[in-house]
Chain A
């Protein structure tokens, strides 16, 4: 009987053998992909095409984003091309692509969600000027003004606008709240002084003094963003200040325009009370992509937001009606209509195994064969001017979106997005600066000087050869 039982020694021996077997099995090559996207590509039908395969990394998750990217992959791989594309959705693109480039195993094409300025300024991506000049698909003047400029560093172009682009600014307002306050959309403010009066009229407090409705939040929506390669810093350019000089590679945050912009931000906060505004923001959320955020929820009356605002509000606030107007400007710039079209670049990392074919895929990404399914899945516009005609049938019935499209054609100022090699640092400083001013820790003058000094110092530390001042 006893020899039928496994002894401890035998058990341990077989455990070691089993563990070793599992280890070897787990380390072996993976089985073929069994994902739905791979099944629908029809790769096995044309083995000769599949012999050349370029790898395309993209950001953008979520069902809509993935549906759009899968549609692009399918459209390319079933089309008449000499190679195939393997699409990979990458989260935390910046982290992954920097390691991959350093390790010599980058993707052949990248789109979205990296710190582009860092890639350009560190020669981590391939200059595309020769490809663009020779291309019959991509002509620079076919794209909205400012887009290619936001993909250039020291005179070289490192990206091509693809998949997502569009106007970043427009003040959307809640029709019901405007009417409730006795205001008329036809008289929407054109200067910040007028906007402040609306802010006062729209902001409501209960009997205990707690705010229940806010007129305008200068740090919600696209007012808060930038400076980045896909969106400028709103409060700087709104005051006419190009805070980053791409010619001299210097910052201009110490200028009076920036001081005035900071003072304007503080003025809106001071009326409601900074603690009240901050606590409401953190309890409800910002932006427009959740129903509980302060603008979709009807707590905030006006919001500066890009062209994606109308579509997201149709989902997240279907019971409310909204209008849109030009963003106000300071009194000294009264009458100026300002806009910026930011976009996402498609780029070729250094080390791509076939840059020529990679560029062929980038050309494909700018065509209607891509933009049409992308627009249907996500509402994104792309960078070609021809997509900014509000009378196109695809925009029928979308009046607010049509305003954004028309704004690109009517704007007096079309701001390009800056390419700052220390973009992440500057964005961090922007947040600190705004917070220091609204909480009264610094005067606008001091905050502007401190931000200028900090950014210049950081640039000097990271790029000592570039800083001359």
Chain B
């Protein structure tokens, strides 16, 4: 109580007007102007997308560019949806994006645990071998993978887009391994003393501590799957299975008429909503994860 009273007293003594030195004000002003400028710079594509989605076609090509459309054309949204079935495309994308995200997080966590917390012969060699596979671009593996999936009778299904994620993605393995290495070994030792096996340690000690890193991996994989164009292009040949990336591309013409920017932007705005919503839900964890996994560089 005494401490509380002391705080109250000191609060009473604080002057009602806070005076800032001119230097401090100037510094803050520069800071805010810089931050706001960069924010606008980075937000510009998003704002432009939303703005264009509400324009008429002549407004799109107006010089100088129009940022706030007048009149606002909301009909672009239902019309864009009527040109191609973006609802189905969105559901299709969610279907494999969510599942592959679960698979990528689970498999990367298990493999990274083996590479970081367990001592076994050849561990580092295999880890570097794992990392080396990151150097082979998808275009090089495209045909062999296609033939493999064809022999497995997986073509024209989401299996080629989902199942490989359950087998571990090197980049995520690397990220989680680096994070797991920062967790004190004493925690694992204490659990072992209490009789926990390695699976228990992973599930009950490591993973709860690694939530920010897991969130980063999950979000990165979700976004990668959401944006994936080449994989679905090659593996899917039935339009009812097409994801958003292929659906949006269908709005692009091949010399028939101009690209219908308002429809394209309306469809894009609607289709990025799940990603934006997801980011808002996990942004604190995501930012925390970015800083502790060292992605920020």
Residues of A within 8 A of B (CB): 8-9, 12, 16, 19, 22-23, 26-27, 29-38, 55, 57, 59-66, 68, 88-92, 95-96, 99-100, 102-105, 107, 112-113, 289-292, 308, 312, 315-316, 378
Report the separation of the CA atoms of residues A293 and B254 in the bound assembly, to the nearest whole angstrom.
17
Q: B57: which A residues are within 8 A, CB to CB?
A: 291
The answer to whether A33 and B238 touch across the interface, beta carbons within 8 angstroms, is yes
> How distant is B210 from chain A, measured CB to nearest CB, in Å?
13
Q: Nearest Cβ in chain B — how far from A374, in angstroms?
A: 10
Q: Is the CB of B257 within 8 A of A315?
A: yes
- Nearest-neighbour CB distance to chain A for B201, whole angstroms, equals 13
How far apart are the CA atoms of A32 and B238 in the complex, in Å? 10
Nearest to A88 among chain B residues (CB) is: B237
CA distance A239 to B191 in the complex (A): 84
Contact yes or no, A30 B241, CB < 8 A = yes
Determine whether B270 belongs to the interface, using a CB cutoff of 8 Å to chain A: no
- Once the chains bind, are A62 and B162 in contact (CB under 8 Å)? no
In B123-169, the 8 Å CB interface with A consists of 142-143, 146-147, 150, 155-159, 162-163, 166
Chain A residues with CB below 8 A from B159, complex form? 27
Q: Does B189 make an interface contact (CB < 8 A)?
A: no
Query: Which B residues, 47 to 102, have Cβ-Cβ distances below 8 Å to chain A?
Result: 57-58, 61, 63, 83, 85, 88, 95-96, 98-99, 102
A65 to B95, CA, bound (A): 29
Pair B238/A29 contact, Cβ less than 8 Å: no
Residue pair A289, B255 in contact (C-beta under 8 Å): yes
B292 interfacial by beta-carbon distance below 8 Å: no
Name the segment of B16-24, B245-253, B277-285 touching the other chain.
Answer: B245-253
The answer to whether B254 and A103 touch across the interface, beta carbons within 8 angstroms, is: no
| Chain A residues whose CB sits within 8 angstroms of the CB of B289 once the complex forms | none
Contacts of B61 in A (CB 8 A): 290-292
Please name the 3 residue pairs, one residue from A and one from B, whose CB atoms are nearest each other, closest first. A62-B253, A33-B240, A292-B61
Across-interface contacts of B58 in A (CB, < 8 A): 291
Q: How far is the CA of A316 from the CA of B253 in the complex (A)?
A: 15
B11: Cβ under 8 A from any A Cβ: no
Nearest B residue (CB) for A22:
B99
Nearest-Cβ distance from residue B61 to partner chain A, whole angstroms: 4
Is B203 touching A55 in the complex (CB atoms < 8 A)? no
Contact B257 A312 (CB under 8 A): yes
Check A65–B254 contact: CB distance below 8 A. yes
A26 to B249 alpha-carbon distance, docked (Å)? 23
Give 26 pairs: A residue, B residue, CB < 8 Å, sorted on A: A12-B203, A22-B102, A23-B163, A26-B99, A26-B158, A27-B163, A30-B157, A30-B240, A33-B239, A34-B85, A34-B88, A35-B239, A55-B237, A62-B251, A62-B254, A63-B83, A63-B257, A65-B254, A91-B246, A99-B146, A100-B234, A105-B155, A289-B255, A289-B258, A291-B258, A308-B255
CB closest residue in chain A, given B156 = A30
Complex Cα distance, B204 from A61, in Å, reads 52
Residues A22 and B85 in contact, CB atoms below 8 Å apart: no
> Nearest-CB distance from B237 to chain A (Å)?
5
Q: Is B106 an interface residue (CB 8 A)?
A: yes
Would you give the shortest CB distance from B195 to chain A, in whole angstroms?
15
Chain B residues closer than 8 Å to A57, beta-carbon distance = 237
Q: Is the CB of A103 within 8 A of B146?
A: yes
Q: Given the complex, which residues of A lie within 8 Å of B106, measured CB to CB?
A: 16, 19
Cα separation A9 to B246 with both chains bound (whole Å): 40
Contacts of A22 in B (CB 8 A): 98-99, 102
The distance in angstroms between the C-alpha atoms of A451 and B152, with both chains bound, is 46
Given A9-B204, A23-B99, A291-B58, verify A316-B238 contact (CB < 8 Å).
Answer: no
Q: Of residues 209 to 266 in B, which have CB atoms within 8 Å of A's CB atoms?
A: 230, 233-234, 237-241, 246, 249-260
B83: chain A residues at CB < 8 Å are 63, 66
The docked-state distance in angstroms from the alpha carbon of A96 to that of B157 is 16
* Residues in chain A near residue B158, CB distance under 8 A: 26-27, 30
- Are A62 and B102 in contact, with the CB atoms below 8 A? no
Residues of A within 8 A of B170 (CB): none
Contacts of A102 in B (CB 8 A): 143, 146-147
A35 CB contact (under 8 Å) in B95, B146, B240 = B240
Q: Which of A16, A102, A103, A378 has the most CB of B within 10 A?
A: A103
Contact A60 B253 (CB under 8 A): yes
Tell which of B98, B142, B203, B255 touches A9, judged by Cβ atoms closer than 8 Å: B203
Q: Is B208 an interface residue (CB 8 A)?
A: yes
In the bound complex, residues from chain A placing their C-beta under 8 Å from that of B146 are 99-100, 102-103
A66 neighbours in B (Cβ, 8 Å): 83, 250
State whether B162 touches A23 (Cβ < 8 A).
yes
Tell me which of B96, B230, B233, B260 has the highest count of chain A C-beta atoms within 10 A of its own C-beta.
Answer: B233
